[in-house]
Amino acid sequence: MLGQRRALPELAAHGAWDAVVIGGGITGAGIALEAARRGHKVLLLEQRDFSWGTSSRSSKMVHGGLRYIAQGDIQLTRHALQERERLLAELPDLVVRMPYVFPIRQGRFPGRWPMTFILKLYDALAGIRDHRWMSRDEVRQAYPALNDAGLRGAMRYTDALTDDSRLVIRVLQEAALEGARARNYTEVLDIKAQGDMHELLVQDTNTDNGARLTLHARHVFNATGLWADRLSGTPPVVRPQRGTHLFVAASRLPVRDCLTILHPDDHRPVFVFPWKGQTCIGTTDIDHREGLQDEPHCTPAEIDYLLKVANSELPALHLRREDVLATMAGVRPIIASGKGKDPSKERRDHLVWQANGVISVSGGKLTTFRQIALDALKAAGLIDAATHRQAHQGRHLRCFRHAVPSPHGLNDPVRGTASGGVLQAQVEWILTHEMVVHLDDLLLRRLRLGVLCADAGESLLLSLKPMCQLYLGWDEARWQWECTRYRAVIASSYR
């Protein structure tokens, strides 16, 4: 299990590592797991908290991607759907199949029959049959607030929802049970090739003196997503693109399915879906031109953009800025095409490349993290072509072989947040097993209360304090500092 954070010198005491994975998002976690399950001595290092970046700020969807079919990328869709079905089977408490409803309107593309064709292909690639036509009356009965202008009906199909940050933690827990080590708030400052070994200068980013030491590894994987260009040793390839989501109280925006609606201005698809007891609207897709080290935040223009599409399709609800409980901005590491495309038209493929013996990985989808990891291991020579092909194609391979007895409801991506004794059990488990270093690790990524509660969890701080002091050893001064830090993060990036 991950447990609590170990002292930095303990990492050097293990001698040379077979593989050091830099980056604690879903891609790095997947590489660590796939390398560890094959018997390699693996260490994962993350400069902030696990899933701090893109992997806690995605659209929470484990899906094949209908638009990738429209773009002609059948292979990406097939791989994603194969992984979706695997995750649904292996992590049923964390990855949940959900209905998606796509309203069809007179004179608007796509119509009923193009969507029917696409969904037949979509289901065939997944090996299921799970789509159907909803009549106009059926749609209006399910969603009486939906704009009925030109409404002909809707196509209903299924994909899946997850808690992306908790998925990362689950993959890291599995990797730890396979023998891997992981440490957050540990930055790799430099990598030097030394014959058939690599020398890594690492620094603890959670101490005042910034303790440093040198580690040695036979293989190094740069899975830092947005930051991949910094350590790759090659010309830049990453195009940062920001996607923002809004969280609204379910009482103001009640949905039980994932509504897929088209923005009236640019016709981009936007999702409105239930998530952990509230409703989420997203996402935007714009170039991110701010510093990558800063916590990304939503702009007023992005809020207006998302409220406009919601009010266009659900005009009776009259959503206003005051209805927004929280915002969440994430930055995707898109592999740049170099063609100056609209951000929404860039492909979502991942890229594996290498220089000076360092294997770099960026781009890709949350859903396909395992297959991205296999591509990285193949590039490093840790698996051969036959093993890579078999692992890619094998539908019956079990990837999560260990039970992790987490408390009831902790991973549920649909139902509401816990309270009372259930919340206490969840917090005690997290503080004991999930390497929490700061209060925002707990409230924003492990519990998600920062975006689900109208007060960002402020009313719970008094009950959380004794548990943090007991399990993390925080004194009164540290607790007050953590509260101040947390409030500043919320004010600058989530409200």
Question: What residue segments make up the domains of the chain, in order of their start?
Answer: 9-55+165-237+346-393, 97-156+242-343, 420-493
In the chain, the largest separation of any two C-alpha atoms, in whole Å, equals 70
pLDDT confidence band for 379 (50 / 70 / 90):
very high
The residues that bridge with 160 in the sheet, in sequence order, are: 62, 97
Fold of domain 9-55+165-237+346-393: FAD/NAD(P)-binding domain (3.50.50)
Q: Is the previous residue joined to 407 through a cis bond, with omega within 30 degrees of 0? A: no
* pLDDT in the model for residue 416: 83
pTM for this model (two decimals)? 0.96
Question: Which tens digits make up the pLDDT trace of 92-101?
Answer: 999 999 999 9
The candidate with the shortest Cα–Cα distance to 58, out of 326, 332, 272, 258, is: 332
The pLDDT value recorded for residue 340 is 60
Check pLDDT > 70 for residue 345. Answer: no
Please report the pLDDT score of residue 131 as a whole number.
97
- The pLDDT tens digits for 403-420 are 998 898 999 999 888 888
Strands annotated E in 276-337: 278-282, 286-287, 324-335
97-156+242-343 sits in which CATH class? alpha beta
pLDDT in tens, 16-59: 999 999 999 999 999 999 999 999 999 999 999 999 999 999 99
Asked if residues 151 and 103 have their Cβ atoms less than 8 Å apart, the reply is yes
pLDDT in tens, 354-365: 999 999 999 999
- Residue 209 pLDDT > 80, yes or no? no
Q: Is the pLDDT of residue 218 over 90?
A: yes
* Whole-angstrom distance, CA of residue 29 vs CA of residue 37: 12
The average pLDDT across 469-473 equals: 97
For residue 341, the model assigns a pLDDT of 65
Backbone angles phi and psi of 250, in degrees to 5: -60, -30
**Bigger pLDDT: 36 or 340?**
36
Instruction: Please state, for a pLDDT cut of 70, what percent of the chain lies above it.
Output: 97
Return the axis-axis angle of helices 385-393 and 369-380, rounded to nearest 10°: 170
The pLDDT tens digits for 64-73 are: 988 888 778 8
3-state secondary structure 59-120: CCEECCCHHHHHCCCHHHHHHHHHHHHHHHHHCCCCEEEEEEEEEEECCCCCCHHHHHHHHH
> What span, in angstroms and rounded, lies between the C-alpha atoms of 374 and 20?
16
Nearest to 239 by CA among 342, 367, 370, 379: 342
